[in-house]
Each structure stands twice: as C-alpha cells, then as structure tokens.
Structure 1
Amino acid sequence: MSALPLCMLLAAGAHAEAPAEGVRQVPSFALPVSPYLSPQAQESVRSAVIHGDPTAKLDNAAVLAQLDSIRKGTDQWAYGEIAELRKRFAVELHHETWGGIPVVRVQPRSAPADPANQRLLIELHGGAFVFGRADSLGLLEAIPVAAMTGMTVLAVEYRQGPEHRFPAASEDVAAVYRAALARLPAAHIGIFGCSAGGVLTGESLAWFAKEKLPMPGAAGLFCAGGDARYGGDSRYVMAAINDALLPHADGTLPIMEDLYYGDVDFRDPLVSPVFSEPLLAQFPPTLFITGTRAAELSNVSYMHSRLVDLERVSDLHVWEGLGHAFHLDAKLPESQQAYRVMARFFAKHLGTALPASHPAPAAAAAPR
C-alpha cells in the first residue's frame, strides 16, 4: 500500500487523465428553467428554448446574404412592441438632428418644468452593429427609461456595417454628445445602451477621452462589457446553452460585429476599453446589467472588477435565469425591476429626483 495520502493519490490519478493544457471537457446535461423566475419570465425562457434564434448559427456570409430580411424582421417586431409601450408610458417622440446625426428625442411628460432640474440621456441601440435602428430597437429601452426617470432620452441613429466601418459609430455618438454639451453641462448628461449599444457606450467614452471631451455624469453598459469580443467562460457556456456557434479552440469566433469592425485590433482601447487602465480610470459612475444565461456575463464581470479595483463607481446587477438583453421585453417583472435600477442609478449620479410615481434615489455619492 502506498504511503501517499488518499487525496494525493486521487489528485495524481485525476491529473494523469486530465485534458492537455487544463482544458475542461464538459459533459452535456439538461438545464431546467430557473425556479426563481416569475411565471411570465419562465414562459419567455421556455419559448426561447423551443423556438430558438434563427441567427444563432449563421456565419457572416449567411448574415450578409440575409441582412435585408434580418433588418426588416427586427424592425417590424420592434415596432409592434413600441406600439404597446406607447400605451403604457407617457412620452412624445420627435425626430430631430443633433450635431448632424439623426436622433429620436423621447420626451417624457413627467419631465420637470424647471430647466435646472432637467437631465439628458443618450441611448445607443443594439443589433450587432449591423441591424436595428434608433426608432426600432432604440425605443424599446429609450421609452421606459425616459418615462421612469423623467429625463429626455436621445436614441441615436449611428452608422453601422457593412456600409460603414469602425470608428463611424463612435464619431456619430461624439457629434451628438458635443451638441448635448452645448445645451447642458456634462454632469447632467448620461449615456447608455444594450448589446452592441452597450459596447458602443464604452467605446464612446473612450472616444470622448481621446477627443478630450468632459466625461458624462453616468453611463450604463447593459448586456455588454468593455471587450468588444465578449471573452471569458460565459461565451462558451452560453453558446452551448443557446445552441449557438462555439468559439474556436483559440477562443476566437467570427461574429456579426466583424462586418462593422473589419480588421481592427480588438485590444485597442478605442475598441475594447477594458484593456486600458488609464482609460478606465477616467470612466464615470457605470451601471452594468446582465443575466446568468447571457454570453456577456464573464466580460461584464471582468469589466466591473477592473473599475472597482481602480476605485471607480461601478454597480453590477445580474438577473438569475435570464439571457442577453432580457430587459427589452418590458412586460416581464424582472425587466421592470431592471428599469427601476436604471432609473435610480441615473437619478442618483446625475443629481436629480425621479418622478413622483417612482422611489427617490439614495443620496448622491461624493464626486471623484
């Protein structure tokens, strides 16, 4: 009998059979719907599993071939959702141009009358930088946020691929931001977005720093972090769970966003600000929202940890059992919770009060 302790023998045996380079081989298993979800969210998750995402396994050649129908289908779905949102939320929509860029100004009827108390949020829609519009995907979150904060929201119609390439979108957001700065101080302006719009929010902050513009008072990176390629464990796990394309052995994965980015260095801080500590040290208070079934979870967690380590104000909220961009379905109780989190965050850091129908924010943090 060997004199080695049993635990060491077991460890030695496990090491002998372990895959090369510590790569874990994960067996398949059945993943039930989370019991913590509301009945509405449970039904939404079941429906997503049953029906799937028709774009989940499309390579970029297939995306290009189907891009017109993807764009039209996305917009048509969004317009139906927007019609319902307008019945629920008291807002007015105005198509305008700010800094030469088309925007939809979402004006809440709950906006304060006193100009000193008025605030502005810039919203950047999702869609992998190739589909979606300010007046479609953009309004899905701009309308609830405007109504619940009492703040004016500008949904930006930024340029996308494949017709345009990086940094076109960052330039467009900066043009809108300059126009906003002509009306309000930076401390009274916030910026946020979901998915590609969340990525673009981080890229826009990087662009503002490059252009030596003052940072806005607050930012929201929703369903996105500071790495434009969404790295980390969750990229693999969620690809398997969502029956999507798995990354290659080296961790790379062709993504729709490549049709906008082209041949860029994804560690360039203007593309992925998480890789630059000097840049992150300039970030305003930042809110992250994601879910445990979201491919961006690892990316978001890493970005949040970097900001916290640099002593920046950073809030991370993770919703159990929900996936990428879940809050765009405003009917879900969990989405309503997420919008309340957003409203309180922006009110707190932009130094104003929420409309009377919503809870007042906590006292504002001391400026850094």
Structure 2
Amino acid sequence: MHDSRVIGPFLRGFCFLVALAAAQQAVAREGDGIRHVPAFDLPLSPYMSPEAQAAARAEIAEGDPLAHMSNEELARNIQQIRASVDMSIAPRVEALRQRYGVSLRQEKWSGVPVTIVTPKAPVARGLLIELHGGGFIFGSAGTLGMLEAIPVAAMTGMRVVAVDYRLGPEHRYPAASEDVAAVYREALKRHRPGDIGLFGCSSGGVLTSEALAWFQKERLPMPAAAGVFCASADARYGGDARYVVAAVNNAPMPKPDGSLPIMEELYYGQADLADPLISPLFSRGVLAKFPPTLFITGTRAAELSAAAHTHSRLTALGVEARLHVWDGMGHAFHLNTDLPEAQEALEVISRFFKAYVGRVGR
C-alpha cells in the first residue's frame, strides 16, 4: 500500500514540471508570435435565431464554390458567374419589391446607370446612395443592390439610388470611385449634402469608404452619413478574423504575413491597397473627415477585425462611429431579410440614417 500523503504531493509536483516543460516548448515554438491552434469543432452560436441556425447549416452543407477558385478561373468564367448570380437573385428581388411595396425604375445619372427605389410611404427629404457587393467583379444595382436598397428605402421612407458602377476585370481602379462621384455630383444638384447618405455591403462597403476619400480628393462636400456594411476602410481585409473565418469556412488560409489573393485584385490590378484612396484607414487626415459612419458585421465574417479597427480609429479621431456585431453571423447576413438578425440589422440601419440624413439645419 502507498501513503497518499507522500505520493500525492509527488505526483502533483511531477505533473507541474511536465506542464511547465510543455509550456516552455510552446513558448519556444511560438516565440515568433504565431499561435499554432489545434483543430476543434465549432458549434453554431446559441445566440443565433432558429432561422439563422437553419440557414447556417444549409450554407455549410452547400459550401461556397467561389472561395476555392483562383483569380484566373474567376476571370475565365466571369460572364457565367455574373449570369448565375443575377438569375438566382432575381426572384428574391421581385419578392422584396412586392413585400415592401416599392417602385423601381432605371435611369442614368451623369452617364452612370442607376436603379431608383421609391418607397410606397411618403418620401422623406433624404436621398440614399447604395453601392452593391460582389467583389468588384459581379453583381449589379438591380440584383445584389436591391437586397438592401429595397428594405432600406421602405424602412427609412427615403428614395435609394443604387449605382451600377464599372466592374473588373474589364475596368480597373479607380473606375468605380469615378462612377460613384459622378452619381454623387448629380445628387448634389438635387439635394443638400446634409440630405444625402451613402452606404454599401461587402465590396460596396469598401467602395463607400473609397468614395468618401475620393470625394475629399475632388473637394466635394461630405454626405450626412455613411454605412460601411460587412466591410471596412481597409481593402486588404486584415486582422484575426481573416484567419479564423477562413478556417471556419474551409477557405484558403492567408500566409503568415496576411497576404492572400483576393478576387478584388481583378479590379485593383497593380494598385497599392495601402493607398488612402483605396484604404482610407492609412490616412488619419482622410478618416478625420468621414461623416457619422455605421458598421454592420458578424463574428463569423472575415471583415470583422478590419471593421472593428476602422471603427476604433474613427472614434479615436473624434468621428461619430457605431459598430454593431451579431454573434455567429457571417458575411453580408443582413441581405437575407428572412432572418430575424437581418431585420434587426435593417432596423439599426434605418434608425441611423433617419437620425442623420435630412435633418433640418444640416
């Protein structure tokens, strides 16, 4: 028989030494600051609605075919990708039009095609300009743009002008910024700057930040407010979230330096993504002139870190900035208006623009 009074302390001491040695090895291995994270199972967040959990399960089962396509493959198949995206979204757009009772019409503002969404309710004095997503290579004002333009128009009572800016790879930076500025100039002929808001999702959110920088370069007055949704003022999509979300979504992992080919490069070409006209995050002077800005994102969205960092930089500069994050939700979740979380986000967006756009005295 053994004496536990002697053996117990010995075993505890031995275990402590083993744990210490393992920790020292981990420190030595991770002395470069890189964490080597073992694989683990990540369940759906308990904070997600049942509808969002069901949507997430379906998304995990289906996967994202574009996530594993090289830029060469994307460019080679771009016409088929665009047609497929537009065809899949068209029924959703029609359902939204009927659900919210808005009217749609196509025009050209300063030569740029736009889709104008007019709400059924009395139109408020404000005008909102929407910039669609699609990685700067697919999507349009009348498809992806409508997924947020229609509900936002209906919920704010403001007309929304969705912009069909030029896309890559046929067009390169700064084509999209130029198109947004052209539409904005036309809007300024009809409205005061204080009656105009600007917003977009994904690449449209990045373009919103780029447009604010471009307006400054062109010496145009700032709009009353901006919405940078599922995006940031950093076109690189950097930070922790880029790695974590790549692992969660079974997408290609970035290199240790954070570099990873992104589809947006088919639009940016050889442009420097650290240029403040592309990533305003790199200029305190540009950021300081931003109007009140709203950020919408989720914990499983690759832009989370960049959005949070942009928000913190704006706040440090004294700019009115708001950041809303939904646990468990992924990129562009608010475009699925069937989800309770999307409705919550749209309510936040609506209240924000109604608070800042069209205020008397601005």
Q: CA RMSD in A?
A: 2.0
Corresponding letter in the other structure for 2:315: V
1:15 Cα deviation from its structure 2 partner: 5.6
| Corresponding residue number in structure 1 for 2:302 | 295
Give CA deviations for 1:101-139 in whole Å, capped at 9, x if unaligned.
110000111133xxxx51100000000000001100011
Q: 2:104, 2:115 within 8 Å by CA — same for their partners in 1?
A: yes
What stretches of structure 1 of length at least 5 have no aligned partner?
A: 353-363
Q: 1:126, 1:132 within 8 Å by CA — same for their partners in 2?
A: yes
Q: 1:130, 1:257 within 8 Å by CA — same for their partners in 2?
A: yes
| Corresponding residue number in structure 1 for 2:82 | 71
| Corresponding residue number in structure 2 for 1:158 | 165
Rounded to whole Å, the distance in 2 between the matches of 1:101 and 1:20 is 53
Rounded to whole Å, the distance in 2 between the matches of 1:304 and 1:97 is 34
Does structure 1 residue 58 correspond to structure 2 residue 65?
Answer: no
Q: 1:128, 1:195 within 8 Å by CA — same for their partners in 2?
A: yes
Rounded to whole Å, the distance in 2 between the matches of 1:245 and 1:16 is 27
1:249 Cα deviation from its structure 2 partner: 2.5
Change (3 A) 1:185 1:77: same
Give the TM-score normalised by structure 2. 0.92
Change (3 A) 1:134 1:21: same
Q: How many residues align?
A: 348
Q: 1:291, 1:322 within 8 Å by CA — same for their partners in 2?
A: yes
Rounded to whole Å, the distance in 2 between the matches of 1:248 and 1:63 is 21
For residue 21 of structure 1, give the secondary structure of its aligned residue in structure 2: coil
| Corresponding residue number in structure 2 for 1:232 | 239
| Corresponding residue number in structure 2 for 1:175 | 182
Rounded to whole Å, the distance in 1 between the matches of 2:118 and 2:298 is 29
Of the three residues 128, 132, 141, the one matched with 1:121 is 128
| Corresponding residue number in structure 2 for 1:100 | 111
Rounded to whole Å, the distance in 1 between the matches of 2:122 and 2:225 is 19
Rounded to whole Å, the distance in 2 between the matches of 1:173 and 1:126 is 14
1:287 Cα deviation from its structure 2 partner: 0.2
Corresponding letter in the other structure for 1:267: A
For residue 137 of structure 1, give the secondary structure of its aligned residue in structure 2: coil
Q: Which moved more, 1:287-296 or 1:74-83?
A: 74-83
For residue 22 of structure 1, give the secondary structure of its aligned residue in structure 2: coil
Does structure 1 residue 199 correspond to structure 2 residue 199?
Answer: no
Of the three residues 218, 223, 227, the one matched with 1:211 is 218
Larger radius of gyration: 2
Does structure 1 residue 280 correspond to structure 2 residue 287?
Answer: yes
Change (3 A) 1:188 1:10: farther
Q: 2:196, 2:358 within 8 Å by CA — same for their partners in 1?
A: no
Corresponding letter in the other structure for 1:81: R
Of the three residues 30, 46, 54, the one matched with 1:35 is 46
Q: 2:280, 2:287 within 8 Å by CA — same for their partners in 1?
A: yes
Corresponding letter in the other structure for 2:322: D
Give CA deviations for 1:71-120 in whole Å, capped at 9, x if unaligned.
111101110111111121011001001111110000111133xxxx5110
Rounded to whole Å, the distance in 2 between the matches of 1:131 and 1:20 is 42
| Corresponding residue number in structure 2 for 1:359 | none
Give the TM-score normalised by structure 1. 0.91
Corresponding letter in the other structure for 1:345: F
| Corresponding residue number in structure 1 for 2:4 | none
Rounded to whole Å, the distance in 1 between the matches of 2:87 and 2:235 is 27
1:32 Cα deviation from its structure 2 partner: 0.8
* Runs of 4 or more consecutive aligned structure 1 residues displaced over 2 Å after TM superposition: 8-12, 14-20
Structure with more of its chain in helix, by fraction: 2
Corresponding letter in the other structure for 1:58: M
For residue 131 of structure 1, give the secondary structure of its aligned residue in structure 2: coil
Rounded to whole Å, the distance in 2 between the matches of 1:279 and 1:35 is 39
What stretches of structure 2 of length at least 5 have no aligned partner?
A: 1-12
Q: Percent identity?
A: 56
